[in-house]
Structure 1
Amino acid sequence: MRTAVVRVVVDRAGTLSAGEYEEGLRRLRERGTDVVASPAERLPDRNREIELIVAGLDLADLPKHVTLCAESFRTPAEAGVVTYISRGTDDDAHGVLAAFKVAGRVVREVRGDEEVVTVTLSAADLRRVPESRLHTALEAALNCEVRIGGDRSPG
């Protein structure tokens, strides 16, 4: 399961005092939310952004996380960029494949001193997906050499 970092702007207008900002963080944490945030005094007066660490994020649930922030800070909140923490696991590879809306077989091997991950896609998916973009995303997620091939089996 991939872990997402959901950035949320919690104080676009700069209306929160440092104490109100810290109180919003406390309320989020009390609700069981994993939050990464700088102390108020280290942030600009406006556009304060926090990061929620969400395991197995379904992007359809993103509004729920933004609403939770708005309720906790008692100010409008806006979704920012969503990125993913990469641990170089097969789950990370499958998460990248899912983002490209394809499924594939992932095989990890050690060849000499080098780790190589081979990803096999169906021939139809391989024709549909820009291979260079997929290759770059997989290498970034896995931090190793990646080889992509097509499944030549019928069906």
Structure 2
Amino acid sequence: MSEAGHAQLSALLIQLEATLAHFNELLAQEEEILVHSRIDLLPPLTADKLATSNQLDQQFQAFRAFAQFSGMPLSPAHVLDEALMRFDAGLGEQWHRIRDLSLVAKARNTSNGQLIDSRKHLNDRLFNELSQLRETPQLYGEDGRVRSTIGGQPFDKA
């Protein structure tokens, strides 16, 4: 590989590593928001996460195109790792960090998805319970206590 090709590959890997690190920071922020139920903070974070995800996709496509053009094997993964280490140990280590960041992002994104699903499940249960309560006509008695008129039998909920 030429000196220009080496510089281009190095630049691609630097961009990928920085973008993946930023993406992991966004996922950590998303996790914090989900855990503390600060859902109002999600929209701007989601927009940033989507933009960063698109940026990552473009950067990985550029890396794949460069690898194919240079004749680097893209799969299996360990062959690419070995080829990069043989070519330049520093680039091989950087690629290894990128793969580790990718695994962390995948795990954190899965975890955040599970948090969202559990929150959705809880919200659905609450909505169903509230819907059932809404269908039960309730009236206030003369003493100010809530009573239901189901079956004509008033009862006190206080």
TM range (shorter): under 0.3
TM-score (norm 1): 0.26
